[in-house]
Chains A and B, each alone.
Chain A
Amino acid sequence: MNSVGVIPDIPKIYTALAEWLSCMVIIGLCVRKPPRPRDVAVAVASLAALVLVQIGIGVVPLALWLPGMALALGVMLLTIWVCCRFTAVTAVYWLMRAFLLAEFAASIEWQLYFHMVSRYGWSQAVWVQALMLLVVYGAVFGAVVLLERRPDLAAPDVTGHELLTAVIIAGTTFALSNLSYVSTATPFTSTIGTEVFNIRTLVGFGGVAFMYAFHIQLCENHARKELDSIRNLLDMQYAQYQQSKESVAVINHKYHDLKHQIAVLRRESDPDRRERYLDDIEQGIKTYEAQYKTGNAVLDTMLTAKGLVCAKDGIELTCVADGALLARVSEMDVCTIFGNALDNAIEYERRIADPAKRLIHVSVSEANGFALVRVENYLMDADAGVGRGAGGVAGATRALPSSANDDLPATTKRDKRYHGFGLKSVRHTVAQYGGTLTVGPKDHWFELTVLLPLR
């Protein structure tokens, strides 16, 4: 049996048992379903493998201790991975937790047992050791189960970044707690056996506690993110509902107008005036002929919906678009790009006092092997830097994105009027296709340009 100075160290089979139990507890917490027969087989095989590896570690020279530990970790990882069907990153995250837990459980059990033997002269009989094992492992793993069985602490999909934090915690803890076994010549290690146990147990406990705290935070972050995305979805659905309600109202309104106009027309006998009425009617319904056929169904729907909003607000929306160029952009992303761009433009235009100046122009065309999307809207004098001093010009240039960094137009109160909040998400979306978004005022227009490689 290995020993620290004169004191015997943890029997390898105890370590193996702790590692195995740790895996089982974590699998139980993550899966929360009765095990399938295959899982049971995996568990049994895993126990056998861990015992074999640990016995091996006890036999081989110290130099092979680390490779041996790596092998044990490999068995644990495989057990968790196979039973929980995690992604690789998530499986490694749980491995870190399981590993620290096992190290701590084995360490505290042996320390307590050794304390009892040396201080109170307990018997070293096998049944005493077994009882101690049962009580301490039971207490440690039982506490973990009690603390973590809350459903909101169940397995989230871990990101690479989060895994890194877990690896750092586990790595540091393991290195510190085992330093004394590798070398006694450092300022942080001890040659006295009981001290070695103390360091190992306390550092191990610290590691488990840190990891637990980190896990809680991680779960909270994931829950918040999920909640946010659900809320976004609901917001979007509500906005859509509002929009269709408004559209229906607009059409109803026009229908009534038209009925009256037809009645007037019926009574009119003068052909000239009749003609003029007909012109009026024609003009009145001009904006409602929402027949956008661009070759991209999502874009068509988007333009029709926004076109109706424009019609309601007296905004003239003109559009030249080759929707086929957007074939490789997903439906959701077409919505993001055009929805945000048009919403911003509409939001700005409806504030313009003179209806003749409420203009939005959209174009989607091919240029130099790119899809070039432009959404332009007319700017009021004040925002176009006309009739103002240097302040106006400065204001206009500030709205130009600085290409050196990722900043979108500064959200000063004045700028907000034509930028809204959606540009960040447009930029993000466009970047996924290797494209770029530029925005800024030009002459009397605010221009939003999206460039997407066609490939």
Chain B
Amino acid sequence: MEAVIQVAIVEDETEYARTLEDYLTRYGEEIGERFAVTRFPDGEDIVANYRTAYDIILMDIEMASMDGMTAAERIREIDREVVIMFITNMAQYAIQGYKVDALDYVLKPISYFAFTQRLGRAISRMRRREETYVTITAKNSTSRVPVSSILWIESSGHRLAYHTKEGVFESTTSSMKEVEERLRDEGFFRCNKGYLVNLAHVRGVEDGCAKVGGDLVMVSRAKQRELLDALANYLGAVAK
């Protein structure tokens, strides 16, 4: 069983909050997850003393003193990672959810089926963004680097150079093939014989190059389309 998923419910109407809790319990049993629920009756309550302890926030939009959109904006200032999902009967407000990286919402009255579908997707995205690390070993040093900070990896001869946000790390012990295999599910793409790029940092693809971080990485002609497709799949899967 996975770790407990921390959920905050921000909802002024007790009835809806209770429905959500029931749904969470029922869904948890179905999929073998446990949800720990914290309730807030108003946007103001969760924003005051906000702590980055939640995995998912279920947020009503229409609330008495601080509406859900404002609350979400304030939370985003502190917490980039938490998944925010609006639960609302105001579809016309939720449409602006992109402003706070809330690309999902559920309409009231809440249907169990629709709710669990959206929640299930949120959970899988949340899991995807959990940090993993790689260990880079060179002759006389070993570094542990978060995968998310790797921009691209270059192979030359028997050496690999990890270009990361924190600088370049050299590795003398592993081959490009091994690394590609190791990072298979982490959203990396082999765009040339000697280059493996982290799709999370690809900012554009043009003129035979991929913009990765501040660098331009050569993309082989045959791989250009494939790279865009891989990027589309990757971004589609991690978007909140």
Contact = CB atoms under 8 A, between A and B. Distances in A.
A359 interface: yes
A374 B236 contact: yes
B225 interface: yes
Interface string A279-308: 000110010010111100000000000000
Interface stretch (A101-109, A139-147, A431-439): A431-439
A293 B92 contact: yes
A392 interface: no
B36 interface: no
Contacts of A449: 232-233, 235-236
Nearest to B205: A453
Given A369-B204, A444-B117, A451-B235, A320 B228 contact: no
Contacts of B211: 369
A263 interface: no
Interface in B185-240: 200-206, 211, 225-226, 228-233, 235-237, 239
Interface residues of A, number: 47
A403 interface: yes
| Interface-centre pick from A366, A434, A438 (highest chain B CB count, 10 A) | A438
Interface of A is mostly: strand
Contacts of B233: 438, 449
B206 A438 contact: no
A320 B97 contact: yes
A438 B228 CA distance: 9
Contacts of A435: 228
Contact of B113 (A319, A357, A361, A401): A357
Closest 8 CB pairs of A and B: A436-B228, A291-B92, A451-B232, A320-B97, A403-B229, A449-B236, A367-B235, A356-B113
Interface of A: 282-283, 286, 289, 291-294, 316, 318-322, 354, 356-357, 359, 361, 363-370, 372, 374, 378, 401, 403-404, 434-438, 442-445, 447, 449-451, 453
16 contacts: A286-B89, A292-B95, A318-B105, A320-B96, A320-B103, A322-B99, A354-B113, A363-B104, A365-B103, A368-B201, A368-B231, A368-B235, A370-B231, A374-B239, A434-B206, A436-B228
